[in-house]
Amino acid sequence: MMRSHDWSGSPLGPPAQWPQSLRSVVSLLLWSKFPMFVAWGPQLGFVYNDPYAEILGAKHPSSLGRPFEEIWSEIWSEVGPLAHRALQGEASYVENMPLLMSRKGYDEQTWFTFSYSPVTGDDGRIAGMYCVCTETTHGVLLEAAREAQTQRLASLAEQRQLALDAAQLGWWQYDTETGAVTHDERYGQIYGLDASSPRHVDEIRRLVYEEDAPRLRAAAEAAIRSSEPEPYAIEYRILRPDGATRWLEARGIPSFEGRGASRVLTSYAGTVADITERRIAEEVLREDEARFRLMANASPAALWLTDPNGHCTFLSSQWYELTGQTEAQALGLGWTTATHPDDQEHARNAFLEANEKRQQFQTEYRLRTADGSYRWAVDLGRPWYSETGEYAGMVGVVFDVDARRRAEEAVEEASRRKDQFLATLAHELRNPLTPISNALQVWPHVDGKAEEASRLRGMMERQVRQMARLIDDLLDVSRITRGRIDLRRERLDLSLAVHEAVEALKPFIDSNAHRLVVDLPVESVYVEADLGRLVQVFGNLLHNAAKYTAPGGEIHIVARQERDAAIVTIRDSGLGIPTDMLTEVFEMFAQVDQSLGRAHGGLGIGLTLVKSLVELHGGSIEVRSEGLGLGSEFQVRLPAISDATSHAAMAQPLEGALPLPSHRVLVVDDLTSSADTLAMMLELLGQHLHIAYDGAAALEAYDAFGPEIAFIDIAMPGMDGYEVARRLRTCASRRPLLVALTGFGQEEDRNRALEAGFDHHLVKPTTIQALREILAAVPLRIMG
């Protein structure tokens, strides 16, 4: 290397000119394996061997012969003092000197160990120095890394211990070859052992509860069967040497040597914690939860709980029994799927909004029950908070309110029908009142016109009968609903009731040009019934058939017997009934035609009355119709009786063949028109009349007229009819027959009249036949 180098311009000159001592030192450099250099002469010219060339890096080979200070200018401040001491004859040794060197194109931190020695020239004086050096950068860095690793491990161990202490964990390691269990102090404290010195595994195992040991062993064995080290965790009980039972949670992981089939278990390591307090708290919580579930499931309503996110975490058994859902279907927000499809969005939004705002809520929706039907329910909820005041979710209850809801709907429907009925009643009462009012206004102008007077009189009679029919129906419905109606049962031929109903309705049917077909059985069919009420039933059905059938239509009434049932069917070709109304036509105030322009009228109580009367007779009634415009059919079924005598043999006519005796009759009524017309009816029956238009006049007339019979109105101003009756009873020397004549027809009205001293109670308007019956009984009454 030195021979091939160009030494021209070098401070040392060519090697041939070098002093012998310098050539000797350079020869030493050539065979040395250690990095060496020589600094010679006044300018310390630099000469080095190949190993040192590795240290020079980019500065090699241009550094040969150049001054030492120039080559290592960046580190001269550190190595220059060593060089000067060597030139002064003082050897130096420096180990691991840190130097920031510029070589290989960049600055790097290095460490070197130097040995500097002086070198004498041919004249015996110090002419230079030489240095043997070793770069120790790698070793220094490796040692620093080892020290850092040691510090990290120490820090990790300290952190691990801090974590174990913070978590109240004990550390342990079990050597499977020796059976020794190494542990820390806390492990010993948990197991109730005196010190942290190793224990044999058998000593530890003897402390584990006998019934828990198989689970602990199975968990450890399952961990070693895994292809990779698998940690395990297990909870078990121990009986400490001091007699205390403690719950522990152990976590461990096995260690192996080798792999595959040659893998050998060497140890377990892990942690252990005393969880006795937690297990006690969990047991208390389980008991509390069991009590809560018991109370919740015993409640008549369904209880529920949610988490803060609004997800349902608990529903009591009532929910599952009612809806048929499972827990998997109902928890979370699955409960909303049990609501009616039309109610799901409303129910979900009401709940989620309350949960978001953390406020109470109440909502109603329809729930699908286990049998697929829907029932109304009310859902009430409110927020609840933990002991620390944190929002924990919602708690609530679901009540089945279907009965209440349907009752409310029924009340609303009844109220609607009542309002409709009152409006209809006003309309139906005005219908006959209007022509009567009109006729009365015309009456003064038909004097001498017999035909017109007769026509007006006939019209007013028909309108009065219509009003009487409406009022009678109302009174009958009232009596039936209050259970105050009495049936006068007798054995009678069913055909008789049908015949009388037909006779009563035939003028109305004929006026509508209907074709009436009556089909009666050849042999008599007997029933035990109230003739008047059966005539009322069949008459009402015939009246409806005629009313709802267009002129020229057909009406059929058929009577027959089937086994033990007497059946009467009334069929028409009229308006018909919508199929959705077939179950409602017998309800109070029900109207098939609810438009303002109804052409047929009626209060909507006729069929209710018919059904009630039929059921009072122990029978039933059904309706059939194919729909609007296809006619209707009503079928009445009554219990039939056998071996009955004919109605003709049992029933006696009301009218006697003998003429009525003439009596002195007092009529008392503040309404002059009523008093005068009643007097006219009694005169037709051959009675001798006196009229009083108030109570006081009645008492005066009694003394002067001496009546045998008195028809007394109840509702009079001043002295009412009750007071008149009481005074006549107390002051009369001779007892007259007292008849109360009033518009009040309830059972309590009749009882009150009898208590006041009346012998009979008639409801306005009365009939000549009713008057005849009372007059016929007067002789018997007086003689008695």
Beta strand pairing call for 554-562 and 515-519: parallel
Q: Are residues 604 and 509 in the same domain?
A: yes
SS (H, E, C) 433-474: HHHHHHHHHHHHHHCCCHHHHHHHHHHHHHHHHHHHHHHHHH
Contacts of 315 (CB under 8 A, 6+ apart): 302, 303, 304, 327, 330, 331, 335
> 68 with 46: CB under 8 angstroms?
yes
Helices 768-776, 672-684: axis angle to 10 degrees equals: 60
Determine the Cα–Cα distance for residues 395 and 383; give it in Å rounded to an integer: 6
The residue ranking higher by pLDDT, 523 or 426, is 523
**Average pLDDT taken over every residue of the chain:** 81
Residue 99: inside a domain: yes
For the ranges 18-22, 130-134, 440-444, 652-656, which has the lowest average pLDDT? 652-656
Residue 601 has pLDDT above 50, yes or no: no
**First-to-final CA distance of the chain:** 175
Give the model's pLDDT for residue 425: 59
Give the model's pLDDT for residue 599: 41
Secondary structure element (H or E) that encloses residue 278, with its range = helix 276-298
Residue 569 has pLDDT above 80, yes or no: yes
Determine the Cα–Cα distance for residues 283 and 289; give it in Å rounded to an integer: 10
- Chosen domain end from 344, 366, 400: 400
Output DSSP code: residue 73.
G
Give the model's pLDDT for residue 780: 44
Q: How confident is the model at residue 6 (pLDDT cuts 50, 70, 90)?
A: low
Give the model's pLDDT for residue 368: 92
Determine the Cα–Cα distance for residues 200 and 17; give it in Å rounded to an integer: 84
Give the model's pLDDT for residue 365: 92
Residue 475 has pLDDT above 70, yes or no: no
**What SS3 state is found at 389?**
coil
Determine the Cα–Cα distance for residues 331 and 311; give it in Å rounded to an integer: 7
Helices 494-511, 531-547: axis angle to 10 degrees equals: 30
Q: What is the mean pLDDT of residues 611-615?
A: 85
Q: What is the mean pLDDT of residues 685-690?
A: 90
Residue 218: inside a domain: yes
Residue 168 has pLDDT above 70, yes or no: no
pLDDT tens profile 693-720? 999 999 888 888 889 999 999 888 889 9
C-alpha distances (whole Å) from 611 to each of 311, 393, 621 are: 54, 56, 6
For the ranges 233-242, 374-383, 450-459, which has the lowest average pLDDT? 450-459
Give the model's pLDDT for residue 97: 92
Q: Are residues 219 and 350 in the same domain?
A: no
Give the model's pLDDT for residue 480: 59
Q: How confident is the model at residue 464 (pLDDT cuts 50, 70, 90)?
A: confident
Residue 271 has pLDDT above 80, yes or no: yes
Residue 159 has pLDDT above 70, yes or no: no
Q: What is the mean pLDDT of residues 475-500?
A: 73
> 169 with 152: CB under 8 angstroms?
no
Name the domain count of the chain: 5
Give the model's pLDDT for residue 608: 78
Determine the Cα–Cα distance for residues 311 and 327; give it in Å rounded to an integer: 13
Q: What is the mean pLDDT of residues 469-496?
A: 69
Q: How confident is the model at residue 622 (pLDDT cuts 50, 70, 90)?
A: very high
Residue 127: inside a domain: yes
Residue 418: inside a domain: no
Q: Are residues 516 and 638 in the same domain?
A: yes
Q: Are residues 504 and 550 in the same domain?
A: yes
For the ranges 71-80, 83-92, 217-226, 558-567, which has the lowest average pLDDT? 217-226
Residue 205 has pLDDT above 80, yes or no: yes
Residue 340 has pLDDT above 80, yes or no: yes
Question: Can you say whether residue 757 is alpha, beta or left, with left for phi > 0 and alpha for psi between -120 and 50 degrees?
Answer: left
User: Can you give the CATH number for the domain in which 746 is found?
Assistant: 3.40.50.2300
Residue from 35, 37, 23 nearest 68 by CA: 37
- Chosen domain end from 400, 428, 457: 400
Q: What percent of the chain has pLDDT over 90?
A: 18
Residue 656 has pLDDT above 80, yes or no: no
Q: Are residues 347 and 383 in the same domain?
A: yes
Output DSSP code: residue 662.
P
> 710 with 682: CB under 8 angstroms?
no
The residue ranking higher by pLDDT, 421 or 761, is 761
Q: How confident is the model at residue 643 (pLDDT cuts 50, 70, 90)?
A: low
Q: Are residues 98 and 175 in the same domain?
A: no
User: Can you give the CATH number for the domain in which 319 is found?
Assistant: 3.30.450.20
Determine the Cα–Cα distance for residues 169 and 187; give it in Å rounded to an integer: 7
Residue 378: inside a domain: yes
Q: Are residues 518 and 613 in the same domain?
A: yes
pLDDT tens profile 404-453? 888 888 888 777 767 666 655 565 566 567 667 777 777 787 777 788 77
User: Can you give the CATH number for the domain in which 602 is found?
Assistant: 3.30.565.10
Give the model's pLDDT for residue 359: 92
Contacts of 586 (CB under 8 A, 6+ apart): 607, 608, 610, 611, 621, 623
Give the model's pLDDT for residue 144: 82
Residue 189: inside a domain: yes
Output DSSP code: residue 208.
B
Q: How confident is the model at residue 2 (pLDDT cuts 50, 70, 90)?
A: very low
Q: How many C-beta atoms surround the C-beta of residue 124 within 10 A?
A: 8
- Tell me the residue range of the domain where 238 lies: 167-274
Q: How confident is the model at residue 474 (pLDDT cuts 50, 70, 90)?
A: low
State the burial class of residue 643 (Cβ atoms within 10 Å of its Cβ: 0-12, 13-18, 19+): exposed
- State residue 168 phi and psi, 5-degree precision: 55, 40
Residue 671: inside a domain: yes
C-alpha distances (whole Å) from 396 to each of 303, 314, 361, 383, 649 are: 6, 10, 9, 9, 74
Q: Are residues 644 and 669 in the same domain?
A: no
Q: Are residues 515 and 628 in the same domain?
A: yes
Beta strand pairing call for 199-200 and 565-572: unpaired
Q: Residue 472 is which amino acid? A: D
Residue from 595, 541, 551 nearest 574 by CA: 551
- Chosen domain end from 400, 424, 446: 400
CA 293 to chain centre: 19
The residue ranking higher by pLDDT, 112 or 729, is 112
Give the model's pLDDT for residue 596: 33
Residue 733 has pLDDT above 80, yes or no: no
Q: Are residues 631 and 492 in the same domain?
A: yes
Residue 421: inside a domain: no
Q: What is the mean pLDDT of residues 365-392?
A: 89
- Bridge partner residues of 237 (DSSP): 247
Determine the Cα–Cα distance for residues 51 and 214; give it in Å rounded to an integer: 70
**What SS3 state is found at 280?**
helix
Give the model's pLDDT for residue 210: 92
Q: Are residues 590 and 676 in the same domain?
A: no
Per-residue burial over 684-703, b = 16 or more CB atoms within 10 Å of its CB, e = otherwise:
ebebebbbbbbbebbbebbe
Q: What is the mean pLDDT of residues 243-256?
A: 89
pLDDT tens profile 112-124? 999 999 988 888 8
Q: Are residues 55 and 129 in the same domain?
A: yes
The residue ranking higher by pLDDT, 675 or 345, is 345
